[in-house]
Structure formats: C-alpha cells, structure tokens
C-alpha cells in the first residue's frame, strides 16, 4: 500500500490516514472498509481510539464492511493492542483499528489487521488498495452483513496480561506502589479509571 492516489491522504503498509474531513472523509473510509471487507469477509473486529472523529468514522467503516457482506463486531473505544487481541479472541477474519496513533488530533486513520491480529503485510495491503481503486460507487449497496457489539475486549486484554506466568499481581499489589498515569487522552484512559 505504498502508492498514494487520493489527495491529502497518506497510504502505507500501516493503512491510511489523513486530516478528518479533508483527505480522510467518511466516504473514503467507507470505501476502504468495503475493499478490505471484500477480501477479509466473515467476522471483522472494529475498534477506535478516543479522537472526536472516531465515532463518525466508525459508522462509515461499519457501513463499508457490512456492504461487503462482513459481520462486524464493534468493540468501541479500545487501544490498538486490545483490538489486535480481540481479533484472535473472537476468531475473527480480521480487524480495523480507527486511529492516527501519534498524529495530531485533527488526523485519523484506518489500520487493517489479518486473522492473526497482526497488521497486513505489503502485498496484503496492496490487494486492499487495488480493490479500493477498482471499486465504483458503493453508496447504494445494501447492508448485507450483521452488526454486534462486544464490550469485553479491554477486559480480555487486561486479563490476558494478568494471567501470564511472569506476572505476579499479588506481589506487585503488596508493594503498594504510587503510580502516576497520563494516557494523553488516549484509549487507555477510560480503561484505567
């Protein structure tokens, strides 16, 4: 996915990102999700970070995936690792993370995952881009896929970490550490409250 054919949109093996409303619009997000959904059809996890544009982009992504016939499992606000782990926990065919990572708040993006919960490689990403560019207007397609929600993705992630043999949560708690946490308005904030 190294070629960029959409103005003001950065396309790479990590996915697509741009300033919401400029390069990255709801229509572009829906069409990328549709392209991805035609390849990774089946159940698809969708998670988002805490950016304001995350909710409207989630609606667009869910619409595109469902128009491709995918069954969407919306996990809501979740970190990138929580979304990755949700793909394998739910045995999904893939996942879409709506995030722009380190970019400023006006940015957002889509990161695509394979069924192993790992980012698509270059050739897999190129296939999504190829379908994106060869797909016409999808506005009048019907929503064939189902939509469900799973509110347990973040808990699953935390419990998976705490169940590791190398983690002794009782020993850690007994030390009564004072912890200062700044999640910089990220998806981890609500999880830690």
Give residue-wise pLDDT tens across range 8-49. Answer: 899 886 789 999 999 999 999 999 999 999 999 999 999 999
Q: Are 58 and 99 in contact (CB under 8 A)?
A: no
What local confidence, expressed as pLDDT, does residue 188 receive?
Answer: 75
The secondary structure of 146-182 as a DSSP string is: -EEE-TTHHHHHHHHHHTSTT--HHHHHHTT------
- Residues 49-100: tens digit of each pLDDT: 999 999 999 999 999 999 999 999 999 999 999 999 999 999 999 999 999 9
Structure tokens at 107: 């940015």
Q: Which of 73, 70, 42 has the alpha carbon at shortest distance from 148?
A: 73
The three-state secondary structure class of 122 is helix
Which residues form the catalytic set? 101
**Domains of the chain (ranges, CATH numbers):** 9-192 (3.40.120.10)
Which whole-number Å values give the CA distances from 59 to 37, 62, 65, in the listed order?
A: 15, 5, 10
pTM exceeds cut of 0.75: yes
The arithmetic mean of pLDDT across residues 165-180, rounded, is: 90
């Amino acid at each position: 996915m190294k070629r960029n054919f959409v103005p003001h949109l950065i396309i790479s093996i990590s996915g697509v990102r741009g300033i919401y409303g400029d390069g990255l619009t709801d229509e572009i997000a829906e069409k990328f999700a549709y392209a991805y959904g035609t390849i990774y059809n089946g159940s698809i996890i969708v998670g988002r970070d805490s950016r304001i544009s995350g909710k409207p982009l989630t609606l667009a992504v869910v619409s595109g995936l469902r128009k491709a016939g995918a069954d969407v499992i919306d996990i809501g606000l979740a970190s990138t690792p929580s979304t990755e782990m949700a793909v394998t926990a739910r045995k999904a065919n893939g996942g879409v993370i709506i995030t722009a990572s380190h970019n400023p708040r006006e940015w957002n993006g889509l990161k695509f995952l394979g069924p192993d919960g790992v980012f698509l490689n270059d050739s897999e990403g190129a296939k999504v881009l190829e379908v994106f560019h060869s797909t016409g207007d999808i506005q009048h397609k019907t929503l064939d896929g189902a939509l469900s929600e799973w509110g347990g993705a973040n808990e699953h992630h935390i419990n998976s970490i705490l169940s590791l043999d190398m983690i002794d949560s009782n020993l850690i708690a007994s030390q009564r550490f004072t912890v200062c946490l700044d999640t910089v308005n990220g998806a981890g904030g609500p999880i830690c409250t």
